[in-house]
Amino acid sequence: MAEKRSGARRGAWLILPPVLLGIGVLYFARSNPPTPTREPAAEYAQSVRVVKAVSAPFAPRAVGYGPAKPARSWIVSSDVAGRVVFVSDNFVRGGVVRAGETLLKIDDADYRLAADRARADIVSIDAQIDELKLNRDNLKAALAVQKQSLKVAERELKRQKDLQARSAGTAVSVDQKERDALARKAAVLDLENQIKLVPAKIRALESSKAVKKAQLGQAELDLKRVVIKAPFAGRVAETAVAISQFVTVGGKLGVVDGVEAAEINAQFPVASLRDFGRLASRRKLAEAAPGVGRIDRLGEQFGVWAKATLEAGVSGLSGGAAPSWQATVLRISEEVDEKTRAVGVIVSVPNPYKTARPGKRPALIKGAFLKVELFGAPVDGLVLAPRASLRVNAVGDVEILVVGADERLERRKVVLVASMDDVAAIGAGIKAGERIVVTDLAPAIVGQKMRAVLDAAATARLAAAIKPPVRPAAAKKSADK
């Protein structure tokens, strides 16, 4: 038993040294830790999408929207009153009428009677005038006879007075001859007065004849007006008349819309139209005449042309491109719309029905809502960038973020000439080929390291936006003139 206890003590002493040694090593390690090695931290480069600035001819473009309406409309009305005796089969809503086609006829019986009455009155007045002229000739002949008789009576009176002076005649004879001479003189004066009145009577009759001629002219004009003809080719928009209906002067009987041209009052934002006009006239401003900045003269001086397109889904046709028509810029509206703050530009589309093909291409009918695009001649010397890349700083300057040659972010102040659709036309501050940041950086720290990644989709959109539009041959010929 004592030996067993002695062996246990020797085993405990054998374990104790290694344990103490381990504790000492651990204490030493904790008291003298190794010094860590410091390595330089790598600079973080932020990934951004970029698009390369492009220098290419850029055709200015502006887009507006508006409804189509006929260039002219005719409100059908009658210039005479009467009962309708004829209505054309084409004079129905939607009907097509030719220029000069008879649409309506009004009973002309009253106007024929008025014309016959005026003609009869004129014949009667002519007869009265002829009678006065003949009477005047007779009065002149009678006057000549009376004057001769007056001379004879005066000679006889003188002879009787001479006889009385020689006591050969009596006072009674002298008085008788004197009364006879006075009677002859009165007859001469009466005839002279009658002759003098003849011209006045003829003038009065001629005035009456003129009145009757005017009445005849009015009756004949009314006879022409009983037939109502279309002044131009068109489509009937409204009708309000039927056979046997009594119509009054000036009453509305229908509406005919012309088909030779359609007009579209397209509404354009003021800023868009201003930028378009600035770019469209940029190439020739130095040589242009005064007033070229007016949009209604851009077409003739700077080759501006327009295209009207029926919006997709409106035409009712499935598949294919939306129908479009070449248009001509006519004028601008006289005011800015109070609600939309837009300016109207009126363009004209010739022969809107001529190109219609049933089931394939619709006609440009009244009320159709269209997109109107204005195009100008391509302008050189501009750098083009995505419009979304523009920034405006606190003082109102336009800026663009660029990844520089050292792959660091730069902030460039640029001169913005115009912006339209997705394109910004820049006059100075950036060069073609520079990488423009299109990522929305917040915050944008100038000098920050960047990792530029070319945005293929944005690049394709920019290329498509600056692609020159195809100009119709007719528009080219018009501009060349």
pLDDT on residue 481: 45
Domain assignment of residue 10, yes or no: no
pTM, two decimals, is 0.67
pLDDT on residue 475: 46
What lies within 8 Å, CB to CB, of 113 at 6+ separation is none
Q: Are 121 and 212 in contact (CB under 8 A)?
A: yes
| 251 and 312 belong to one structural domain | no
- In CATH, what number is assigned to the domain containing residue 476? 2.40.420.20
| 128 and 100 belong to one structural domain | no
C-alpha 221/C-alpha 53 separation (Å) is 73
**Amino acid, single-letter form, for residue 402:** V
Domain assignment of residue 363, yes or no: yes
| 157 and 290 belong to one structural domain | no
Domain assignment of residue 33, yes or no: no
| 100 and 146 belong to one structural domain | no
Domain assignment of residue 20, yes or no: no
| 96 and 239 belong to one structural domain | yes
Domain assignment of residue 39, yes or no: no
| 118 and 217 belong to one structural domain | yes
Mean pLDDT by 10 residues, the chain (481 residues): 51 59 61 58 79 87 92 95 96 94 95 95 94 90 86 81 74 80 87 89 93 95 95 94 94 94 92 81 47 51 82 54 86 82 90 84 89 87 88 87 88 86 86 89 85 89 83 51 45
pLDDT on residue 480: 47
Domain assignment of residue 415, yes or no: yes
C-alpha 132/C-alpha 122 separation (Å) is 15
CA 208-209-215 angle, 5° bins? 95
Domain that holds residue 430: 48-57+381-480
Q: Is the dihedral of CA 212, 214, 218, 221 positive or negative?
A: positive
| 176 and 250 belong to one structural domain | no
C-alpha 365/C-alpha 387 separation (Å) is 36
Domain assignment of residue 11, yes or no: no
Q: Is the dihedral of CA 285, 289, 295, 299 positive or negative?
A: negative
Domain assignment of residue 37, yes or no: no
Q: Are 59 and 379 in contact (CB under 8 A)?
A: yes
- In CATH, what number is assigned to the domain containing residue 361? 2.40.30
| DSSP secondary structure letter of residue 221 | H
| 363 and 389 belong to one structural domain | no
pLDDT on residue 177: 78
- Cβ atoms within 10 A of the Cβ of 443, count? 5
C-alpha 161/C-alpha 154 separation (Å) is 11
| DSSP secondary structure letter of residue 36 | P
- In CATH, what number is assigned to the domain containing residue 243? 2.40.50.100
Residue in 268, 264, 269, 262 with CA at minimum distance from that of residue 369: 264
| 137 and 169 belong to one structural domain | yes
| 324 and 349 belong to one structural domain | yes
C-alpha 83/C-alpha 246 separation (Å) is 4
Q: How many domains does the chain have?
A: 4
| 334 and 434 belong to one structural domain | no
Would you call 265 helix, strand, or coil by DSSP?
A: strand
| 201 and 296 belong to one structural domain | no
Structure tokens at 243: 């056979």
Of 327, 342, 375, the residue at which a domain comes to its end is: 375
